[in-house]
Amino acid sequence: MTTWTRRSFAALAAAPLLAQRSTDRRTAPGPIKITDLRCAIIGRNPVVRIVTDQGISGYGQAESTKAYLKPMVLFYKNYIMGDDPTDVQRVMLKIRRLGASKPWGAAVSAIEIALWDIAGQVAGVPVYKLLGGKMRDRVRVYNGGFRPPLRGQTPKDYADNVAQMKAAKEGFTLIKMAVGFHNGAMMRAIPNAWYDDARRGAPHPDRGLMTERGLKHVIACVEAMKNVLGDGIGLALDCGPGFTLKDAITFCRAMEPLHLTWLEDLLTGDYSPHPNAELYRELTRSTSAHIHTGEQIYLRENFKDLIEKDAVDVIGPDPEDIGGIAEFKWVADYADLHNIMVAPHGIFDGLIGLAAHVHLAASIGQNYIAFEYPFGQPDWWYEIVEGLPNPIVKNGFIDVWNKPGLGVTFNVPAAKARLSPEDRAFFD
């Protein structure tokens, strides 16, 4: 008579699983390899394509303001050829050290997103599953690129402008407006708004000590917008950089009764190469208004001071600049440990970028607020990309889809027709 032991029962229970694993090894295809890295300018956006030996391609996209990015993307080609694209971290270790703060990290970020697109397709799951799974079934967005032109720079002009956005079919629950030094037209429209002259020529960030007249005008415009939106729609402000610390404190304290969602980039930001955590910490501790920055920062290491010093209340990295969506996810999780909220930047990230934002936002923890809604430029982008919801935004949210990878694909014949002669081989 056979004597059954605990080990015997364990072996019996494991037998079907071991048999299945053996079968999987025999039938699974060989390792997938990268055979090409390509970049094309489609419309205004640089688009990255990673090609593999198994007929699977992954796509990433950079902001439309970075049409010069193509040679920067192709610089990394020899670093990743022959690698398994599903080993995302291993591939990224080769190239992440070769990027830099905005705009130079965009090439690395677009490549990273294309790698995740491939990894999801190979695994047969949406990218958010690979980032830890879905925290929410729909993701909140704010207006981003949807911003009708201002007729002028008076408080009434700003009130009329947000009234149009309030009535938009997207049903935004959060609207962000540019004020102060972030809106050069606003500052130039006010005689003697600050103690210096506006910069001329190529875009320059103006900065300086504001006059009483300038500060009062900015406050009046914000109050006019808030009167239109009430307490049903949030209002965030993109403010600078350019304020002095003391002006920023004065402005933020004037904003406290309005309960704004955040005040962004008052001191540094956009293309500033440094976040200046000490200055931001002093500002944040001087007001109950929510202070925000971070869209220009590349890699987790460069968020360390902002987060560990509790220098801001909200960070807004761009997944197309920080080093990709996994890099963003790491920073978001670390920020959550410090009670810092997250509102991803992404106004010009395009429709492939939009898909990356959706997967990322679905996976971020409870410190997520909303991401800046990217849009297609020109409008024919909506004819060459398939897989997005229709309509994309409903009541201020985007429903998270479940298709493998990023879940969006190109209508190749339609997209080919939009390529320049030098990029005709991009889809071949």
DSSP letters of 32-46? --EEEEEEEEETTEE
Is residue 5's pLDDT more than 80?
no
Give the pairing of strands 409-410 and 45-52.
Answer: unpaired
Asked if 4 and 337 count as a contact pair (C-beta separation under 8 A), the reply is: no
pLDDT tens-digit map of 133-152: 999 999 999 998 888 999 99
Work out the average pLDDT over 306-321: 97
Is residue 23's pLDDT more than 60?
no
Tokens 């037209």 belong to residue = 185
Identify the residue with better confidence: 2 or 360.
Answer: 360
pLDDT band at 29 (very low <50, low <70, confident <90, very high): low
Domains belonging to the chain, first-starting first, are 34-124+419-423 (3.30.390.10), 130-405 (3.20.20.120)
Is residue 97's pLDDT more than 70?
yes
Distance from the Cα of residue 380 to its chain's centroid? 22
d(CA 142, CA 257): 22
Work out the average pLDDT over 93-121: 95
d(CA 222, CA 226): 6
Which pLDDT score is estimated for 67? 85
Q: Pick the closest to residue 143 from 346, 419, 282 (CA basis).
A: 346
**Rounded mean pLDDT of the chain?**
92
Q: Name the amino acid, one letter, at 247.
A: D
Percent of the residues in the chain that have a pLDDT greater than 90, as a whole number: 83
pLDDT tens-digit map of 322-365: 999 999 999 999 999 999 999 999 999 999 999 999 999 999 99
**Count of alpha carbons within 13 Å of 217, Cβ hemisphere only?**
22
d(CA 53, CA 56): 8
pTM of the model as a whole: 0.92
pLDDT tens-digit map of 170-227: 999 999 999 999 988 999 898 999 999 888 776 777 899 999 999 999 999 999 999 9
Work out the average pLDDT over 279-300: 97
Buried b (16+ CB within 10 A) or exposed e, 305-344: bbbeeebbbbbbbbbbbbbbbbbbbebbebbbeeebbbbb
